Every structure is written in structure tokens, then in C-alpha cells.
Amino acid sequence: MSLLKVQNVSKSFGSLKVTNDLSFELKRGEAIGILGPNGAGKTTLFNLISGDITPDSGEILFNDKSILALSSSDRCVAGFGRTYQIPQPFEGMSVFENVLVGAVYGNNYSEKEAEELALYVLEQTGLIDKAEALAGTLSLLERKRLELAKALSTQPKVLLLDEIAGGLTEQEVFELIELIKDIRKAGVSIIWIEHIVHALLSVVDRLIAINFGELLIEGTPEDVMNSSEVKEVYMGIE
């Protein structure tokens, strides 16, 4: 059964059409990867799903109900968590306080319940030893983990990952992959935008390639990566 449906969604900024009649579905427990060159409309797609921007046309359904009228904060409470390509911690707050914000505002929890959830998520993401450190002092990998922890603290049903592996070393990417696999095992459905293709291939069930805001091809990772469309548009191979 589909958890999320994006149906014929289009979005333009002035004369520039960044998403054009795009449709796909995300099943419960599934992880899908989004491929595409820079400027293909990948992050705009996430902005449309998370409610940061509104489509010009089309529909977005969550549990078969439209979410277009919901604000980004309401979508967070409904079950959407998101990371951003550039980590955006509250640098003057501790790591624990950063995660506590999500635990409080993403759930109808008491203070004690929110604190317990924040500690659990810090343990889950390998940041428990950094709980009292200021977020502004973290390394890049730690910032990426904190970005993920903030998203997980809202207890999402759908997790949107925007190039979370970018800028990391190979070892750090491997550590991140293992963490995301654990998140999948917990039942969270994932949509992952990533340029580090081997990371995607280690996690996702299905790949979707887009270009100029349009669906190029979707299918199994093997079929998509071997397709002439992806080789030509994404890899520059004719």
C-alpha cells in the first residue's frame, strides 16, 4: 500500500518550470533514491513534499489524504521528517537541545517524554557522547548526524534525506549508510536524494531519475543505472 503519492505535480518560478507533471509513489517501509544532475529539480521536489513551497498544480497524498492545505509544521507533526543539504543546527545550543526542539514541537509530548525521546535519538545516531557540546563545535560528520537526529526526533513515518552523504570521507559515508539501514529496519520509509550513488545503491529498493523536473525513468537500481537515459543525462555517456 502506498504511503505517499505525488500526482502530476508541477511548479514554476516565473518562466522557469522546475517540476513538470511529476508523479511517483512511496510504499510503506520502502526506500527510494532520487537521481538527477544539478538543477534537475530534486530539492524543489522535497520542498513541495515538506510544504516549504506549494505546487502550481497536481496533488500530494499521505495515507490517501491530501496534504496540500497543511503547513510545513503540520506536515512534520503528521509524519514527515527532513534533513537539508547544508546542515542547519542551532549553533549556540547544545546537541541535546537541538534534538529536544524536534522532540517537543514534532510530537504532543510532555517535557519528560520529549527528553527521553531526545536521548534515545542521540544514542541511535551516535551522538550521545556529544549531548552537552555546542552544535557549532561539531565536525561535518557530527553535523550530518545531528541533522538526521533532529529529523528523527519528530518520529517521522517518511524521512526525506537531501544529499546527507555529501562532503564525507568514504569511511564516514559507510558509517552513515549503516545508520540509515538501521532507521529503515525501524520501519521508516525513506526518500533519499544523493550524488554518491554507491550509498544509494546500498540502501534503496528503487531509483527514480529526473531531469528538468520531469520523470526520466524509475525502476530497480540495476535497471535504472544500466539505462541509456541515465547514462546520457546523469553520467554524460551517450
Q: What's the rounded Cα separation, in Å, for the pair 224 and 43? A: 20
Q: Is residue 75 domain-shared with residue 162, that is, in the same domain?
A: yes
Looking at residue 110, its pLDDT comes to 87
Query: What percent of the chain stands above pLDDT 70?
Result: 98
Q: How far apart are CA 92 and CA 82, in angstroms?
A: 21
Which of 155, 174, 199 is the endpoint of a domain? 155
Residue 118's closest CA among 94, 142, 84, 83? 94
Do 212 and 148 belong together in one domain?
Answer: no
| Cβ within 8 Å of residue 85, ≥6 positions away | 43, 162, 163, 166
Contact criterion met (CB below 8 Å) for 55 and 9:
yes
* pLDDT digit string, tens, across residues 111-146: 899 999 999 999 999 999 999 999 999 999 999 999
Counting runs of H as helices and runs of E as strands, what totals does the chain give?
9, 10
58: left (phi over 0), alpha (psi -120 to 50) or beta: left
CA distance 183 to 234: 28
Mean pLDDT, the chain, rounded, equals 94
Is residue 27 domain-shared with residue 142, that is, in the same domain? no
Grid cell listed for 26: 512511496
- The span from the first CA to the last CA of the chain, in angstroms, equals 37
Q: What percent of the chain has pLDDT over 90?
A: 87
Whether 17 and 66 share a structural domain: yes
Residues 11 and 74 in one domain: yes
Radius of gyration of the chain (CA): 18
Per-residue pLDDT band for 230 (boundaries 50, 70, 90) equals confident
In eight-state DSSP terms, residue 94 is B
Q: Which three cell numbers stand for residue 183?
A: 532507521
Question: Of the candidates 204, 94, 72, which has an alpha carbon nearest to the alpha carbon of residue 149?
Answer: 94
> Would you say residue 169 has pLDDT above 90?
yes
How far apart (Å, rounded) are the C-alpha atoms in residues 38 and 52? 20
236 pLDDT more than 80: no
Over 60: is that where the pLDDT of 3 sits?
Answer: yes
The C-alpha cell that represents 234 in the structure block: 546523469
Whether the predicted pLDDT of 10 surpasses 80: yes
Whole-number Å distance between alpha carbons of 1 and 189: 12
d(C-alpha 76, C-alpha 55), whole Å: 18
Q: Note down the domain range covering 121.
A: 88-155
The verdict on 51 and 116 lying in the same domain is: no
Least confident window among 100-109, 115-124, 182-191? 100-109
How much is the average pLDDT of 55-72?
97
Grade residue 107 by pLDDT with cuts at 50, 70 and 90.
confident
Q: Do 60 and 172 lie in a common domain?
A: yes
pLDDT score of 168? 93
**What average pLDDT does this structure show over 91-120?**
93
The candidate with the shortest Cα–Cα distance to 76, out of 170, 161, 164, 153, is 153
pLDDT value for 233: 75
